[in-house]
Structure 1
Amino acid sequence: MEKRLIQISGFLISSLGWLFVLCTMAMDYWRITQLGGQGGSFIIKVAWYWSNLWKDCFTDSTAVTNCRDFPVLWSVTPFIQGVRGLLMCGLTLGFFGVVLCFIGMECTYIGGADRTKDKLLFAGAVFHFAGGVSDISGYCLYINRIARTSFAPSVGPGVLRYDLGPPIFLGLVGCFFILLGAVFYAVTVYRVICPESKVVYDYGGGTYMAPRSRGRTLYTGYYRPSRQYGSYYIDSGRSSSSKISKLSQTTPDKISERDAFV
């Protein structure tokens, strides 16, 4: 039950994050700046310049907006092309991640055996993580371009100093949700990443289990076997058919009187 709750929480959080990222691509005011707005006249004149991934716009104090759409793809500013490409790549990876995680969740009845579903869920978590990193890279590229102009000591004539708009912050929150959901998925299938090597050996009515460790491990169990039968070791470097081998065998401490007589 706990595993299902964690997986459902991861699915909801990651899906919400991808929804945030998808909405930012269609939102306005990625960057915005204001000119005017100071007192000194009867009519306060103010204008806003703002942009998104698809157009540059100008809005005056009368709420009239004039926009200039970006030209064809190969003539757009290179950093705009990079941001678009990173976000679209992340959304594509996120789509495959959502599908794989939905199939691999324990509460769904598709995907096959439990081990197969765990592998699918882990693959979906990797897709989520890669898509989230791609989206973060796109937002950071856009932020870097704005910061280089905003914090420059001097700018050329006609160059405006822009501020970050709401879509940037919404997208960063969405990326955080995506990575958090990927972590939730990975936590539930950590045994696929680090399987436990557990060997059970039945000898004389007793059960001996070898804990996982490096190199050779002495078989230990619920009680110690008699030294008469030797000590058994496991070597992790050998094949599965020859893992259990008898390396040494001690001689009995006592010799029966019949054998001594002979």
Structure 2
Amino acid sequence: MATEIVAFLLTISGWILVSSTLPTDYWKVSSVDGTVITTATFWSNLWKTCVTDSTGVSNCKDFPSMLALDAYIQVCRGLMIASVCLGFFGAIFALVGMKCTKIGGSETTKARLTVLSGFHFILSGLCCMTACSIYAHRITTEFFDPLFVAQKFELGAALFIGWAGSVLCVLGGLIFCLSLSEGFSMRRVA
């Protein structure tokens, strides 16, 4: 039971980080220091692109059309939304399937729900990790390309939060799946 509680805490912490990554502003960041007085920070996420001046005033522009977006942004949006949804259903299955809860039916049914929640969390973590990695790959490819003449960006904080959350989801999901195999090996011995 303690293993399941640890797994649940890991997965819920990871899911919260993954969920907070989706609306976070700084997926990519670039600073321009023109003079001592004027500084502008350009940043972008999956939904909009913004510029913040030295006084702290931000001017944002939402992406105008979903069909006009670059394919990598559409893929990242889909993967992140899938990640949040998979984590939500994984949390519900985990709450019902854990040994310390009184709902869920027989021990076999609860064990199956626990494994199902583990798979949901593993898939949630992999979706988020893939989305953050695709986005980061695009940023680093443009940054190190000597022929790319447009403004170059660097990795933002949201990507690191997403990677950390996805690792926690995958680890917790694996612990959920392994806790079931321990239960089966104990039943065979007894």
Could you state the TM-score of these two structures normalised by the residue count of structure 2?
0.92
**RCO higher in 1 or 2 (8 Å CA, sep ≥ 6)?**
2
Partner of 1:13: 10
* Offset at residue 191 of structure 1 (A): 4.9
- Stretches of structure 2 that go unaligned for 5 or more consecutive residues are none
Q: For each residue in 1:107-159, what CA deviation from the matched residue of structure 2 results, as whole angstroms up to 9, or x when unmatched?
A: 00111111111111111111111111111110111001101111112322xx1
One of 139, 147, 169 as aligned partner of 1:146: 139
Partner of 2:128: 135
Deviates more, 1:121-130 or 1:56-65: 56-65
Matched-pair contact (CA < 8 Å) for 2:18–2:83: no
Partner of 1:28: 25
Q: CA RMSD in A?
A: 1.9
Question: Quick one: distance in 2 between partners of 1:184 and 1:64?
Answer: 45
Partner of 1:86: 79
One of 169, 186, 191 as aligned partner of 2:177: 186
| Structure whose residues are more often strand by fraction | 1
Could you state the TM-score of these two structures normalised by the residue count of structure 1?
0.68
- Stretches of structure 1 that go unaligned for 5 or more consecutive residues are 199-262
Partner of 1:248: none
Question: Quick one: distance in 2 between partners of 1:183 and 1:165?
Answer: 28
Q: Percent identity?
A: 33
Structure (1 or 2) with the larger CA radius of gyration: 1
Aligned length in residues: 189
Matched-pair contact (CA < 8 Å) for 2:94–2:117: yes
Partner of 1:66: 59
Matched-pair contact (CA < 8 Å) for 1:119–1:192: no
Q: For each residue in 1:29-69, what CA deviation from the matched residue of structure 2 results, as whole angstroms up to 9, or x when unmatched?
A: 1111111155xxxx532111111111111112222221111
| Structure whose residues are more often helix by fraction | 2
Is the partner of 1:189 in helix, strand or coil? helix
* Offset at residue 187 of structure 1 (A): 2.0
* Offset at residue 192 of structure 1 (A): 6.9
Partner of 1:167: 158
* Offset at residue 10 of structure 1 (A): 0.8
Question: Quick one: distance in 2 between partners of 1:64 and 1:134?
Answer: 34
Is the partner of 1:133 in helix, strand or coil? helix
Is the partner of 1:74 in helix, strand or coil? coil
